[in-house]
Amino acid sequence: MVIETIREKGADFFVMQSGNANFLYATKFRSSSMMFYIVGTDGTELLLLPEMELRRALRESRVKEIASYEMLGYEEKIKEFKNPKNAIAEILVQVLKEGRAKKVLIPNDFPSFFAFILQKNMEVEVIDNPFLKQRAIKSGQEVAEIRENCQKIVQIFPKIMKMIRNKRSSCEEIRSFLEKELWIRGLIAEDTICSTGKLSADPHELGSGKIEEHVLIDVFPRNRKGYYADFTRTVIIEQNSKLKEMLSAVIEAQKKAFSMLRDGVNGRDVHNAVKDVLRSYGFETKKGEGFIHSTGHGIGLEVHEEPRIGDSDVELKSGMVVTIEPGLYYKDVGGVRVEDVVLIKKDGCEILTPFERFLVQCNP
């Protein structure tokens, strides 16, 4: 896909910087250092990085050709330019010129400092990163990573339900316990949402204080290789007919989405069907209340990635891993949401986070 994009644009190379999921996906190498990945029209690849990362990259990266800045004259260039960034930029230009580059493609998050220097030496075109679309369809190994993450969350959640049942836990205690249990199992969770009461009407409210009549828990941990999972449940603790009706509507909307998911379906149609179900229960969206976000999103090396299941056309394809997360949010009562991770297949879908959805701890 990347090579095709280079050729379609009439360019010679695609250049991408480190520090993002696309770079990790392309190179299978993670570092906080400034590095560059270069792809040519003939499929040649080069990973440029500091000498201190060279041996590790030779062991870990999938890129066969790797060169350090020091190998390409960094010491001489730093004496000339007096600035590490300028020295690295000159090496990048040097490498591209040696490849007879007249036009290069860069992604829209490419560092402006390096982009301006490239522009002084050759034609530069800014494009959407071609790895975004490529990442949308997961390999078998990627699905296995995500599936294992999801299983770990589902295994832990009964312990969370037990904490909620004792009616003494706070949002902070539940969040801390959940993140600790995930850490023990090799998952890193940050900013876990454990929101209660009317504040839960804000979908991204982290939550604090004593649990009130209901609690919304949204956890999205990643494993050591960088792959995420995403899971949300709303638990009703005290009698509240409005909350129960909202939760029932959201679960019904999610079931409708599940029934539609398969290869070739338009994500916009799924989103519209979810909205229709919620409206059929009498829940309208207006003035910033109701169903105020998309139905779902892809998940992988980022917790939010392609495809986006919302108001835009997008063809869902077999091998995509997405979330389905309808929710309702009203200031006078709070918010409810259910979210599961789903693998799109040719003739349907597989739910990777199977767990009870209508969670009510009070008496009927």
Domain 137-360: give its CATH architecture.
Alpha-Beta Complex (3.90)
Contact between 183 and 189 (Cβ < 8 Å): yes
pLDDT number for residue 293: 97
Structure tokens at 145: 């990573």
pLDDT number for residue 364: 44
Instruction: Round to whole Å and give the CA distance between 17 and 108.
Output: 11
pLDDT number for residue 362: 64
Confidence band for 361, pLDDT divided at 50, 70 and 90? confident
pLDDT tens digits, one per residue of 50-109: 999 999 999 999 999 999 999 999 999 998 888 899 999 999 999 999 999 999 999 999
pLDDT tens digits, one per residue of 262-307: 999 999 999 999 999 999 999 999 999 999 999 999 999 999 999 9
Phi-psi region of 186 (alpha: psi -120 to 50; beta: other; left: phi over 0): left
Reported in sequence order, the residue ranges of 206-293 that DSSP labels E, i.e. its strands, are 214-219, 222-223, 231-236
pLDDT reading at 363 higher than 70: no
Instruction: Round to whole Å and give the CA distance between 306 and 300.
Output: 9
pLDDT number for residue 81: 82
28-37, 164-173, 322-331: which has the minimum mean pLDDT? 164-173
| Pairing verdict, β 187-188 and 36-40 | unpaired
| Pairing verdict, β 296-298 and 214-219 | unpaired
pLDDT reading at 121 higher than 60: yes
pLDDT reading at 329 higher than 50: yes
Mean pLDDT of 2-10: 95
Domain 2-135: give its CATH architecture.
3-Layer(aba) Sandwich (3.40)
Mean pLDDT of 163-192: 93
Residue range(s) of every CATH 3.40.350.10 domain in the chain = 2-135
pLDDT reading at 20 higher than 70: yes
Structure tokens at 79: 């004496």
Residue range(s) of every CATH 3.90.230.10 domain in the chain = 137-360
Instruction: Round to whole Å and give the CA distance between 292 and 364.
Output: 29
SS3 327: strand
> Would the pTM count as exceeding 0.95?
no
